[in-house]
Copies of this chain bind each other. A is one copy, B any other.
Amino acid sequence: MSKYKDVVDLALRRSLFFPSCEVYADHPAGFFDFGPFGLAIKRKIVDAWRRWFVRKERFLEIDGSVVMPADVFKASGHLTGFYDPITVCKKCGAVFRADKLLSEKAGKEFKEAQAPEVLTAAIKKFKVVCPKCKGSLSDVEKSSLMVKAFIGAGSKKEVYLRPETCQSIFLDFARLFKTMRVKLPQGVAQFGLAFRNEISPRQTLLRSIEFSQLECEVFFNPDKIDEIGGWDAVKDYKVVVQRVNDSSPSLVLVKDLVDKKIVSGKLIAYYLARVQQFFESIGLPVESMRFRELGDDERAFYAKEAFDFEVLTSVGWLELGANNYRTDHDLKNHMKLSKQDFSVVDEQSGKKFVPHVWEISLGANRIFYAVLEHAFKKEKDRVFLSLVPSLAPLDAGVFPLLKNKPELVKLAKEVYSDLIKYFDVFYDESGSVGKRYARLDEVGVPFCITVDFDSLKNKDVTVRERDSTKQKRVKIKDLCCTLGRLIHCASLEKDF
């Protein structure tokens, strides 16, 4: 837990993220604002996701509205089936999740999906009382995880804040298919907000009410689940999989996922590989990640097969994303309720079918947290974020060695003006150079460029690398090229 605390302390100290409306003493828990450095890192994670999935995989990206009507969630099942079982202390009014409380107090595991009556009976059987005041607990009720809102004249029309970004994609699929000349398989992607009415939001960004998702839904012909472009490029790649009965993860060749029938087709194996590669590219270590196969009792009812992508952190294995084979479940439900036809025709066979869906649903804020925690380093006299350069909030700091030497300030500002055209650079002249390094190290800026007295003679500067703190001299005329190479090629070991 201490590393979690370190990260949150750093986040608050440098305003990476912080509670929304914190100046008001009774602001609700579960909402966070991102400050400048935090937002820059988060945006670069989103950009990396966009390059990796939207651009490389030629997915179509949409941006759907956050507010949606009841019909959508009638069809998806959220209005009736998406709730937490809660119990309320009759004495102090504290609210608890019945399944969590029972699992802690009764010495065996209870699931949120168990019927409220079963949980109520268990509370009685195991004589569970309020952990805060020993008061007796109410019968278990369903507390909806949907956030409802009201619009229209007199605010009387009930609508919902979407609990997941995928529903927009399912609803828009038929239109995109017609107007975007789609050929299956085709992924549709979306980055956006979602809301879940957690009754006890906790662990800052890890379980908040308002959060953001990086969503991809790949639509495909189930008869052609083995047809996927790019297969040869991934088939010999090793992914980290923990099967439902395994106690630890192991490396599995992508082609073996198919050959050993761990997944039902090449398309699924391909996207598991692409997901792992994405996480590796943003600096998460393979040794700390796994695809955890979900068993029958853990999978959502719509999922034919499911793998949670998890990363090991100081708060345990943290789910960063869900990989689900949703079949034609969602499209069929929306077809039924909307009375629209979302089926398509296979060009070769002429066969009409409702596309199946492979879902890659990632949590942007959790990825952001996991990236921060894995980058967080504490050495004897300093703290730094060892972010991969492409995720750093700034590319480099530019300093004059001393601020009271006009010739150094002038040259440093010239260097800054040259670089700002191509890079996110930050000019800083206040405090000692050591303090300036420390401030940028702490938010993960990979390079600092210092103009000193030698620079005036030799037309060069010192470039200092964040992790090693090693320095080298670079000619000012070569600085753009060198910085570009350092940031995009990540071949630091050669340079520092």
Contacts and interface: CB of A to CB of B under 8 A. Distances in A.
Interface of A: 13-15, 18, 20-28, 30-36, 39-40, 42, 55, 60-69, 71-72, 86, 88, 95, 141, 143-144, 146-155, 157, 159, 161, 168, 171-172, 174-176, 179-181, 193, 195, 197, 199, 209-210, 334, 337-338, 340, 420, 424, 430
A42 B64 CA distance: 13
A21 B62 contact: no
A30 B149 CA distance: 14
Given A67-B195, A168-B33, A209-B151, A159 B28 contact: yes
Contacts of A195: 67
Contacts of A161: 149, 161
Given A26-B69, A147-B150, A149-B147, A63 B155 contact: no
Nearest to A13: B179
Main secondary structure of the interface of A (DSSP, over half): mixed
Contact of A71 (B15, B21, B141, B144): B21
A330 to B, nearest CB: 12
Contact of A65 (B23, B33, B148, B172): B33
B149 A153 contact: no
A39 B63 contact: yes
B86 A62 contact: no
Contacts of A66: 66, 193, 210
17 contacts: A20-B68, A20-B168, A21-B71, A24-B69, A24-B72, A24-B337, A31-B68, A34-B64, A36-B180, A39-B61, A40-B61, A55-B420, A65-B210, A66-B66, A141-B154, A149-B161, A152-B199
Contacts of A34: 62-64
A197 B65 contact: no
A24 B338 contact: yes
Contacts of A13: 179
A153 B157 CA distance: 21
Nearest to A145: B155
Contact of A32 (B65, B144, B193): B65
A40 B189 CA distance: 13
A61 B39 CA distance: 7
A18 B175 contact: yes
Nearest to A35: B62
Given A36-B62, A67-B31, A23 B171 contact: yes
A146 to B, nearest CB: 8
Given A147-B150, A153-B95, A180-B15, A69 B35 contact: no
B67 A23 contact: no
A124 to B, nearest CB: 21
Given A34-B63, A39-B61, A148-B155, 13 more contacts: A18-B175, A20-B68, A23-B334, A23-B340, A25-B338, A26-B69, A28-B157, A31-B68, A34-B64, A35-B60, A67-B210, A147-B150, A149-B161
